[in-house]
Every structure is written in structure tokens, then in C-alpha cells.
Chain A
Amino acid sequence: MREITLSQAVNEALAEEMRRDERVFIIGEDVAEAGTPFKVLAGLVEEFGTGRVVDTPIAEPGFMGIAVGAAMTGTRPVVDLMFGDFIYLIMDQLCNQAAKTHYMSGGKLNVPLVLRTNLGATRRSAAQHSQSLQALVAHIPGLKVAMPSSAYEAKGLMKTAIRDDNPVVIFEDKLMYQDKAPVPEEEYLIPFGEANIKREGTDITLIGTSSMVQVAEKAAEILAREGIEAEVIDPRTIVPLDEATLLKSVRKTSRAIVIDEGHQSYGVTAEIASRINEKAFYHLDAPVLRMGAMDVPVPFSPALEDVTVPTPEGVAENARRLMSGEMIHAA
């Protein structure tokens, strides 16, 4: 199978959906001629014109509001938010308007909008351009949240998001845009709420989101050399969450570590760990561990930044501790 980058996969998904459905358009900063700073949208304006690849001023609340209104009135906008950190700027449009319109209109209005943005540290972009804020939006009822872990997921999830009649936020890891993965030429969609078992194992379940799936897979390789068989699961969408697959795995392995690049406290890891705790308690032989980013603003210093996020070695070390029966947190 051919291999393409995550950036190309997103580009293909958008192009295919824009060809399929003329209601689909792109709106955001530097999306047209510039093709975004990450060149994800390169070539789209040439094919679809500035009427469907719309450059905006640097005014996130403005173009987000325009997109929400456009979605309510019959189009299917794909909003390009240059950095996930800018979500703070569009919170009202996203959380108070887009997320609640269907509910508050008694089902008369839909907001079939996709918010494309990114996450991920270690790009030396400092505290305001390195955050992973998926927990903020996953908290809001009415928003779906997809977190592709490779080019394959990026394309399949994007096409499903565009066809969804309600708002979807997709977080792409900005460090993965150039990562290649096998992607079929023929069309495919990845349904929401279906986790992917990336690697089967019997001893411990590693649940990772986005690039943390790769971290988990590398940790599993380290552990396999030590005789520990880790199962790696990618939920692919955290809203909706495929609980059944996660719980089935934990019932098998009795142990779990949840890894996500958002801050650890009150984060995605906490939510998933908590559900495992509630629904698989009597199958647990060890506490469910969360591994998120440190609860600090992401440092600009490369040396410091690198230690704030989960690493394969760190995941493997925690897995060993769980396997050994060590007292994880003495009272």
C-alpha cells in the first residue's frame, strides 16, 4: 500500500469531500495561498478557488462565528484553527453556540461544522503554541472529539467528521504532519466511537491518544523485550469513547496506563482511567495510572520541554512498576 504523510492524508480527505459535496468549504487564517503554516492545505485553493478556501483576518472569534452561522444555514464549514491554543479565543462560538444549537432549537437546527486544529509539544513553540487542549472541548456535551494517531486515521476520521451533522473537533499532532503511514487509494471512512487495537497483549493495557499511541507502541516494544506483553489501544475518538473495547482489554490484562499529551490533572487520562475504575474495578490488579503532560506551562527550553511529556521509557517504567505489584501510592 502506498504511504503518504498525515498532512497529505488530511489534504486528500478535504479535497475528496469538497468534490463530493459542494456545501463543504474551508475557512481560516492563511488557508488559501499559504496553505497553512504546516502546508496541509497546499493546492486546495487552486482546485476549489477562494470562494471555498476562505482566508480570514486574524480574528478567530469572528471567523468561528461566521462558520457556526454558515453551518446553521446549510453549509458544511471546515474551520482551520492554526494552533489548538487559540481555542480559548473561540470558546463561546464553539461551546455556547455550536455545541448547544441542536439541543436548544429542539432539533430544528444542526451545526455540521468541523474544527480542524492541532496539539502537541516539543516543537519549541513555547507555552502559547504547544498546548494539548482536547480535554477542554471533550468536557462540553454536544461536541465530538477525534484524535487521529496516523495518516490513516487522519483521513478516515476527517471524512467522517465532515459528513457528521453535528460539530466535531479534530486535533492533529503538529509534530506528525510529516509522518508517513499506509493509506489506501480507495475511499474509506473510520466510524466514530470505534477504538483500534494497535497491538495485542495480555499483561497490561496501554491506552494512548494521538501521538501518544506511538509512545505506547514504543513502550510496548521495550516491554516485550522484557517479557511483558502490552496491549496498545487507540480510542481514535475520545467523544464518543469506545468503552467496550477498553474495558474488554482491561478485563483481560487487569492493568492499564492511560496516556494523553494534555495536562494530567482533570484531563482525558483522568476521565478514561475513571471509567475503567468504575466499570472494571473487580478486574483490576493494580491502580490505573494516568500519564499526561506535567501540570506546568509548556517550557520553551528544549531541555525542559522534553521532560514535560510522556515518553516510551517513562511508560515502560510505569508498566514495570504495575507488573511488579509495587505499592504505587502508599496512603
Chain B
Amino acid sequence: MPHDVTMPQLGMAQDAGKIVSWLKAPGDPVAEGDALFEVETDKATMEVEAQAAGFLSGVTAAAGEDVPVGQVIARITEEAEDDSAPPEPSAPSAPSAPQSSGGDDLPEGIEVTMPQLGMAQDSGLLVAWHKSPGDAVQADDVLFEVETDKSTMEVPAGADGYLAATLAEAGEDVPVGNAVAVISAEAPSNPVTRSAAAAKAPAPKAEPEQAEKPTERETRQKPASKPAPKTAPANSANGRILASPKARKMALDQGLDLNRLVEAGHPQPYHVADLEVLKSLPTKSAQTNAVQTRHLTAEIPADGFADFARWAADTAGLSDQNALLAGLAAACLPTGTGTVRVEALGQSHSYAVMPGPLSTIQPAEPDRPADLILRDLRFSRITSVHLGAEPAPVLTLARNGDALAITLECAGDHLTASDALTLLSEFAGRMEQPLRHLL
């Protein structure tokens, strides 16, 4: 049975290797251990040895070519002059590192896998971790040490971020291509520490679609909630922030949260000078309030809008009721202007509302993100809603007998509590007596 010769992975960040030269010619007899070809990566040049005895055949890559890691570039056959067709360049046989860890309960981030350091290597012994879970890492930082039957090698992180998960312990043998660590972009709240033995059977062969679906669904279900690390970074066991006593004290005195520097990826330890960086970070309130949902309801005894719309159409030719609703609603936003999407009777219309007369309201492009959503359920049987926050504040109009119920729902970072109250009460006032709007 022919033995495939593949391009080995010589470094974590390596996805291809350049064949410097072939040391054997097609048809040459080779012994196990003979140097077959030379590979150059961005770090080193290395001779690759034959892993089986036989005859070199089916060479598909010439010297000077860049070949993806894992691709079969030749065969070692049992007989010379093997006529079997050269193998088609195939997909990498070694599982390549997935870019994000889906499913499971691992932190999101870039997976670092056990590299293949030799042709015949199917696993590597994790000798030691050089970083601890929760540590900030840079791409060039040594993450762990691997021992194969030939050598011990330091493996770099390959990406900037934080060591969010270690999936093998020192002393464990890890199959090549299996995830060993997860590097997250943000400081993890609860870095995961696992042994390879305890980890579930690795799923690198899983179809990418399958791996992604749960994450996607989860994201849709919780549109307003932010990833966990943002809410409780200080509670992690390894979340001790390295800061000078003076910096810590000044931060305390000035009400500054050093966690935000961690979240921003600012390198520790923190000194007084770093507090200036902290002060320049965008305000935190949006993040802390993100999980809160505001839900306000107002009720007015009668809907004054229908008469107003009729009057506007008759006297000013403004026949688009949705545009009028958008105008009334946008005027109640803190800025008094914005893009309003009106959803009614299964249809959706976006309007760009500028300060000024209702006649200046223009339709907006449908894909333009809305600053405010106005859901008109007056002509449905729904009397009240509690749908939770959506990407923009939502005003819902519902009829309740003769009365009109107006509900405002939004995420905490969309509107401050006082802005939300103002928006709803103003809008309710305008719906009751739309002529007020014109004053």
C-alpha cells in the first residue's frame, strides 16, 4: 500500500511550506528515515524524512512551490515504476485549526492546536504551559512547550488576546490538530482549564455549518445581551489586575474601573500613566446597562391620530400616515431626529426624519439601521406587548378598547431612563393631541 508524503506543519501559524529542493528523484529507492525534501517556512528550513521504505513516485510539487500544509505531494510505493496516477492535490489531511470555537461551553476565540512537528507524529506531549489561563498573550509569546520523539519545541500563541482556555495539562499527550488552547480577544471572566483526557472527544471533523449553527441561533435569541466577559470580568478567580498601589488608589478615588483597561486589552501592569488611557476609553455605561431592558407603557383615553391624519391629508396633502407617525415619534427622540422604521400590517417603511415640518420627511433606504422602531398594532387584536429589547428602541401602538396603549421597550444602553420616560410621555402626548406637534 503506497504511503502518502504530505507537507508537514512546522509551526503554529504555518499554513504552507515552500519546497526548497527534492533530495530524491521520482523512482529513487528510499529507506525509512532518508531525507526526501527540504521545506522552508518563515522560521526555518528543515529536511523532511521518508516515513516508509519504497520508491518515490507521484511527485506533484516541484522545488520552489508553496504547498499547503497537509497536502499530499508524493507517494512512497512498494515497487518502482508504479504507474498509479499521481494523487490529485487533496484537502489537507491534518485538520486545520478552526478559526473560532463553536458549540461546547468554551470561550469564544481562536483555537490553538497541537502542531504537527514531524511527518510521522500523530500526537505531541505537552511539556509545560508558559502562560496561565486568563493571562494576556501576544502572538509571539510562547504559549506551551511540546515534546515529540525528536525534539522539544516552543509553540507561540499565534494571536494577540487572552488565554481563555487551556484544554490539556502539562504531561498529557495531545493528538495533532486537536485544540490545546483558546485565545480570546477579550479578557475571559472564567478561564477554562481542562485536561485533554477530560475533554470531550474532539470535533474538528464536524462540518463547519453544524458547528456554527448553535452559536448563530444563540446570538439571535439574545440580541441585546453582550458576551459574558463584559459583565463580570472582576469576578474571575484569575482576574487579579496588576496595578501599582498608587494607580489603584487613584482609580478608586476617581471612580475609574481598571477592569476596563483589561477589557480594552491594555497591557498590565497598570501605572498612574495608564489612568489617562482609561479616562480616554469610551464610556462604560453602555456596557453595564446593556443587559437591562426598559419597558414603559403609557395609555391615552383616545387616539387623536386618525383625525389628525385625515386633516393633514386634506389640508397639506400629507397622505402617508406612516410618515406622519415617524415624524411624531422622531421628534420625541433625545436628538429630535433620526431614522424611524414603521412596521404596520406586515409592511415596513423607513423614514429619515430631520427637524422641521412633517412635509420634509423622506423615505430612507430599507437597510439603513433604525434609530427607532414604531410598531403599529392598532389594527390587530393585540392589546399589550412585552417583547424585550431589540436593536433599536421600539414604540408599540396597541388599541385597548377606545384607549390607545403605547409601549416603549429598549435596551438600557439605547436610552437613559430619563430619556425613555421623556420619549414615551412626549409621544403619548402627541398621539393624544397631534396638533401639539405643530406648535
Q: Which A residues have a C-beta under 8 Å from some C-beta of B?
A: 254, 281-286, 325, 327
Contact = CB atoms under 8 A, between A and B. Distances in A.
Contact of A282 (B249, B269, B273): B249
B33 interface: no
A16 B246 CA distance: 49
B245 A281 contact: yes
B244, B247, B272 — most chain A CB neighbours (10 Å): B244
Nearest to A327: B269
B232 to A, nearest CB: 23
Contacts of B274: 325
A219 B378 CA distance: 80
B246 A282 contact: yes
Interface in B220-251: 242, 244-249
B37 to A, nearest CB: 42
Contacts of B247: 285
Contacts of B246: 254, 282-285
20 contacts: A254-B244, A254-B246, A281-B245, A282-B245, A282-B248, A282-B249, A283-B245, A284-B245, A285-B244, A285-B246, A285-B247, A285-B271, A286-B244, A286-B271, A325-B271, A325-B273, A325-B274, A327-B242, A327-B268, A327-B269
Nearest to B270: A325
Nearest to A286: B244
Given A282-B249, A285-B247, A254 B242 contact: no
A282 B272 CA distance: 11
Contacts of B248: 282
A7 to B, nearest CB: 44
Q: Is the interface of A mostly helix, strand, loop or mixed?
A: loop
Interface in B153-173: none
3 A-B pairs with the lowest CB-CB distances in the bound complex, closest first? A285-B246, A325-B271, A282-B249
B10 to A, nearest CB: 30
Nearest to B247: A285
Nearest to B274: A325
A62 to B, nearest CB: 51
Interface of B: 242, 244-249, 268-269, 271-274
A42 B244 CA distance: 53
A327 B249 CA distance: 19
Interface centre among B242, B245, B247, B272 (most CB of A within 10 A): B245
Nearest to A282: B249
Nearest to A287: B244
A286 B30 CA distance: 62
A327 B247 CA distance: 14
B355 to A, nearest CB: 48
Nearest to A254: B246
A299 to B, nearest CB: 36
Contacts of A325: 269, 271, 273-274
A327 B273 CA distance: 14
Contacts of B244: 254, 284-286
A289 to B, nearest CB: 13
A257 to B, nearest CB: 15
Contacts of A282: 245-246, 248-249
A285 B248 CA distance: 9
Contacts of A254: 244, 246, 272
Contacts of B249: 282
A269 B298 CA distance: 71
A282 B249 CA distance: 6
A254 B247 CA distance: 10
A154 to B, nearest CB: 37
A284 B272 CA distance: 9
A189 B272 CA distance: 41
A254 to B, nearest CB: 5
Given A282-B246, A285-B272, 15 more contacts: A254-B244, A254-B246, A254-B272, A282-B245, A283-B245, A283-B246, A284-B244, A284-B246, A285-B246, A285-B271, A286-B271, A325-B269, A325-B273, A327-B242, A327-B269
B244 to A, nearest CB: 4
B250 to A, nearest CB: 9
Contacts of A285: 244-247, 271-272
Nearest to B248: A282
A9 to B, nearest CB: 40
A326 to B, nearest CB: 9
Nearest to B249: A282
Nearest to A281: B245
Contacts of B245: 281-285
Nearest to B244: A285
A285 B274 CA distance: 11
A51 to B, nearest CB: 59
B248 to A, nearest CB: 8
Contacts of B242: 327
A281 B245 CA distance: 6
A285 B273 CA distance: 9
A319 to B, nearest CB: 14
Contacts of B273: 325
A325 B268 CA distance: 9
B401 to A, nearest CB: 65
A281 B246 CA distance: 7
B129 to A, nearest CB: 15
A270 to B, nearest CB: 19
Contacts of A281: 245
A140 B273 CA distance: 41
A153 to B, nearest CB: 32
A284 B243 CA distance: 10
A129 to B, nearest CB: 42
Question: Which of A254, A284, A285, A286 neighbours the largest number of chain B CB atoms within 10 Å of its CB?
Answer: A285
Contacts of B272: 254, 285
B269 to A, nearest CB: 6
Contacts of A286: 244, 271
A284 B246 CA distance: 5
A282 B247 CA distance: 8
Contacts of A284: 244-246
B163 to A, nearest CB: 15
A254 B273 CA distance: 12
A282 B252 CA distance: 11
B295 to A, nearest CB: 44
A283 B247 CA distance: 8
A6 B18 CA distance: 72
A86 B227 CA distance: 69
A325 to B, nearest CB: 4
Nearest to B273: A325
Contacts of A283: 245-246
A281 B249 CA distance: 10
Contacts of A327: 242, 268-269
Contacts of B269: 325, 327
A250 to B, nearest CB: 10
A284 B249 CA distance: 10
